[in-house]
Structure 1
């Protein structure tokens, strides 16, 4: 029977030790040698001129400070300093058949929000949040509280629940501000907000929250990418996010992502699951600079919704067409080809026009679609070229109502600059609208 090599080596080493020990014992039978050992050598000595002598069994002293790495000590300190700023959020709908409950169910399926059983047909769920002011303002995700009939919170290390109300929501950024009633001022620990523009890939990232309803769970990783865009909010516009491999699971939504200085650098919002419904090492956080930009509007919201401006157009992304199709209809390689300009919209007031001449092109599903090829083409926004349709959406959603955009517009063979004053505009949601 063959034994594994490491086992043979270990057996050989043990056998060699026994043999050496035996020879040492043989030599120690000599009175002279025995006297030499007992009179001049401490018992702690392990060998004398190659002889094996038992050593005292003294375990080395454990130094906890030296055992911890600098990174571990930093993580422990950050968690201790910031844990009381974390908030656990529970929400309930009064009826599973209500419009709000149906909306929440869709958001749960989209974002993986954990659902808890409720009585009398009610639906419940959990999420996370964190204090951002001494007044008790709490930032969380919009999809955590969207459609809820009742919101309650708990603080870290405390089983007491407090009712909370919505101060304002920013659905297009998946952010919301809530405030709890009756929380003692001394229990409100606002977390410091960092600067997400100063991040680097590879820096430490610490996520805190209540994944799967497990209160106060901490995970650590790094910032994996700062070049990622994913669909965010109700308009599902691709927006810049922070990618991290710190484990983020359902229930972490709305919780803080911290750096090694204990500053909030992001709001945990989504995960890429690969179909398993839990962390696969790819999580996304809304940059904290987005929160800081919106925070004054949220705090002044008085229960309302922060609306983002809209051009009021429907367009086709030219980069999605084939080279042959663009050549056939004399279209540029990229830009937003206007299909429709809605009446009384900001785009209509600026004189933009949609098309009317229909043509057949291939769609992403392998079939065909009808588009108008003679509408205005927006090729740049504020001097920045549009390489894909989301460039236009991001430019608009990043502005505030009342701001102005300068659009570079091609109509036929002529190109001109058009200034549009942005306003809120309501129209039925559909692909390619802005």
Structure 2
């Protein structure tokens, strides 16, 4: 086997630089990665995953599917100590959960970075506890950005990072770290049977969810009080009204809800919200975020083969 001494000087320097970068990331972030053992009501272990401490006072980010509905968890720290934690927030729609470790101590922590600065081909490091093997490190590159992935709740998660850093059961909830030592994602899923296709929730998504958890204890989302389905638009209608190829057909309007008050009817087709195209239910769910709660929005609707605009004031979805 070749070692760095057997390589041409330029290649040896590159290998050494790569090794130093990965080692530096591990030294900085590794102490903040914990094993998460959610506990059921009778305090039995319900499963196992990973998490990352993001503040010295013990705030821990992990996956919603790791917590699996539990309200408490046990954290195993890299130094061998354990501590209890309570669940502050759980959002299956983004597969993120926030815990707070109990006990008066200062925890090693990692910093959430800006995932928008990522580029394809950039080096990333995954740290976690796969298959019960503590503090395992894998490295790879950012394979793609802006992927969409279906959460276990059925909602489509946007802005997901694809990487080839190896993940296994138990890695879920652990950090995906850039070469500068900042956490740019929370590892969430792997594709069974695939080779080197793994995913992480972007850190910018985690930052938004984190602020909602801290402020409200949940992630708030808007609702206009309808049930709908994605349908294709007849080409003639699409061309005539300058609409897309698909829309959301309203199947039910909740009596007394925002859509009902605005005059939306069953059979109407929603094609845009505040000027943003709506080509399916996922678009509508994504656009109805917390910023639109209690604020009038403009719905572009096809009704009786005519395009009309309705002003609707969403309420918080429960």
Query: Considering the TM-score relative to the shorter chain, is it more than 0.5?
Result: yes
2:204 is the counterpart of 1:292: no
Q: CA, structure 1 residues 300+385, in 2 after alignment: closer, same or farther (shift >3 Å)?
A: closer
Q: In 2, distance between residues paired with 1:224 and 1:151?
A: 33
Match of 2:147 among 228, 236, 244: 228
Per-residue deviation, 1:399: 4.4
2:261 is the counterpart of 1:407: no
Q: In 1, distance between residues paired with 2:45 and 2:59?
A: 25
Structure 2: state its 5+ residue gaps. none
2:58 is the counterpart of 1:166: no
The structure with the greater share of residues assigned to strand is 2
Per-residue Cα deviation, 1:39-83 (whole angstroms, up to 9, x for no partner): xxxxxxxxxxxxxxxxxxxx99xx9x9594212211111111111
Where does residue 268 of structure 1 map in the other structure?
Answer: 187
Match of 1:378 among 263, 270, 276: 270
Match of 1:342 among 250, 254, 258: 254
Match of 2:55 among 113, 124, 133: 133
**TM-score normalized by structure 1?**
0.64
1:143 counterpart SS class: helix
Q: In 1, distance between residues paired with 2:63 and 2:294?
A: 26
Larger Rg: 1
Q: In 1, distance between residues paired with 2:301 and 2:123?
A: 44
Structure 1: state its 5+ residue gaps. 1-58, 96-117, 355-374, 427-434
Q: CA, structure 1 residues 210+378, in 2 after alignment: closer, same or farther (shift >3 Å)?
A: same
Where does residue 113 of structure 1 map in the other structure?
Answer: none
Superposition RMSD in Å: 2.9
Match of 1:204 among 123, 128, 133: 123
Where does residue 419 of structure 1 map in the other structure?
Answer: 311
Q: CA, structure 1 residues 137+403, in 2 after alignment: closer, same or farther (shift >3 Å)?
A: farther
8 Å Cα contact 2:244/2:277 also seen in 1: no
Per-residue deviation, 1:166: 1.1
Per-residue deviation, 1:94: 4.3
Per-residue Cα deviation, 1:342-383 (whole angstroms, up to 9, x for no partner): 1233322322111xxxxxxxxxxxxxxxxxxxx111111221
Q: CA, structure 1 residues 419+67, in 2 after alignment: closer, same or farther (shift >3 Å)?
A: closer
Per-residue deviation, 1:245: 0.8
Match of 2:18 among 54, 71, 88: 71
Q: CA, structure 1 residues 410+67, in 2 after alignment: closer, same or farther (shift >3 Å)?
A: closer
Where does residue 312 of structure 1 map in the other structure?
Answer: 225
Q: CA, structure 1 residues 238+88, in 2 after alignment: closer, same or farther (shift >3 Å)?
A: closer
2:246 counterpart SS class: coil
Where does residue 84 of structure 1 map in the other structure?
Answer: 31
Runs of 4+ displaced beyond 4 Å = 65-68, 321-324, 397-400
8 Å Cα contact 2:56/2:109 also seen in 1: yes
Q: CA, structure 1 residues 377+229, in 2 after alignment: closer, same or farther (shift >3 Å)?
A: same
Where does residue 105 of structure 2 map in the other structure?
Answer: 184
- Structure with more relative contact order (C-alpha pairs < 8 Å, separation 6 or more): 2
8 Å Cα contact 1:170/1:307 also seen in 2: no
2:69 is the counterpart of 1:147: yes
